[in-house]
Amino acid sequence: MKHPLQHAIALTVAFGLASAAAAQSRSTGSEQVYPVKPIRMVVVSAPGGTTDALARAFSQRLADSLGQPVVIDNKPGGGGVIAAETVARATPDGYTLLLANLSYSLMPVLHSKLSFDAAKDFSPIALLGLTNSVLVANIALPVKSVQELIAYSKARPGGLDYAGGTTGATAHLSGELFKMMTGANLTHIPYKGTGAAITALIGGEAQIGFLTLPPCVPHIQSGRLHALAIGSSKRSIALPELPTVAESGVPGFDVSAWNGILAPRGLAKPLVMRLNKEFNRIAENSEVRDRAQSQGTELADLTPEQFGAFMTAQMAKWAKVAKTSGMRAD
């Protein structure tokens, strides 16, 4: 029979081994207990835009699924650099995520002194969706088609002003790509956000703009803006009768504003796959998908590897446009 002291020591050792094993299990299989605290979703844009709307639609359902709050942290500015820096410095534990958009594709070109490597310092998680862009015009502009617009811009002294966002924003990239592909005589007028650009177009401060579709739909339907074409490669369910720019005599033109989830580099593969599965599951929800489609956004369900390849292709495409047009960061 063991001495009481020996018995106590044996129990202590056994308890210590069990605790160590449990700790090791948690550290090597963190996805088994994830999440145990709120998740922070850092968004590259201000509240109210398409990116922010997607963030809120997905975050609520992600919180319901994971059983922890998902806190939206809007950090606009610097073409998405401020938000990206925040996430790049975060611990890769799944509790800090970045909701990036098309502006992310331009960071390596527009900013020569980034504190992070946009191509290497993040783990791709999921592509949320692609949002249609739309070419809209002030209703007083005497053009009814893309080809009429091109001809009118070339014939008019000084050309036309197009309302865009800050340098590298979707509206800016769209206009520069259009100029490169058509020779249209256009001048970029920057505005802080789609809402300000729409106001400028309605008021006649600018004549045209390539803007994300969702906030433009009510103004198009009310007759305050004239829609000329969809900027994406396919027609939009939101405005099915409206042709694409490619269909209107500019083959190959395609601008879709992507939104996707990234995490700091080094996030464990099981957590990457867990989060990818959760976001893709939400994208398959009929209510979420139908609402997104009605506003011009097609939701996606790529693997992390496919999303990574997509981002690489986007960086290459828009780097060419930025360099050719001479874009510089604000």
pLDDT over 60 (residue 208): yes
Residues 309 and 293 in one domain: yes
pLDDT over 80 (residue 256): yes
Quickly tell me which residue has 């960071």 as its tokens: 107
What's the DSSP call for residue 95?
A: S
Would 221 be classed as within a structural domain?
yes
Residues 119 and 168 in one domain: no
pTM of the model: 0.81
Would 122 be classed as within a structural domain?
yes
pLDDT over 60 (residue 263): yes
Residues 177 and 222 in one domain: yes
Residues 140 and 207 in one domain: yes
What percent of the chain has a predicted confidence (pLDDT) above 70?
Answer: 90
CATH number at residue 320: 3.40.190.150
Would 6 be classed as within a structural domain?
no
Residues 260 and 287 in one domain: yes
| 194 or 101: which leads in pLDDT | 101
Give the residue numbers spanning the domain of 68. Answer: 31-130+256-325
Separation CA 133–CA 40 (nearest Å): 29
| 58 or 166: which leads in pLDDT | 58
Quickly tell me which residue has 């292709």 as its tokens: 313
Would 201 be classed as within a structural domain?
yes
Would 108 be classed as within a structural domain?
yes
Domain's final residue, options 195, 230, 265? 230
Segment 232-257 shows an average pLDDT of: 93
Residues 225 and 299 in one domain: no
- Cβ(35)–Cβ(94) under 8 Å? yes
* Residue 199: predicted pLDDT: 94
pLDDT over 60 (residue 88): yes
pLDDT digits (tens, 9 = 90+) for 1-15: 545 444 444 444 444
Segment 104-123 shows an average pLDDT of: 89
Confidence grade of residue 113 (pLDDT, cut at 50, 70, 90): confident
Residues 224 and 261 in one domain: no
Separation CA 80–CA 169 (nearest Å): 9
Confidence grade of residue 275 (pLDDT, cut at 50, 70, 90): very high
Segment 294-307 shows an average pLDDT of: 91
Give the total number of structural domains in the chain. 2
Domain's final residue, options 230, 265, 285? 230
Q: What contacts 281, CB < 8 A, 6 or more positions away?
A: 65
- Cβ(170)–Cβ(44) under 8 Å? no
Would 238 be classed as within a structural domain?
no
* Residue 32: predicted pLDDT: 64
Segment 122-127 shows an average pLDDT of: 97
| 213 or 23: which leads in pLDDT | 213
CATH number at residue 198: 3.40.190.10
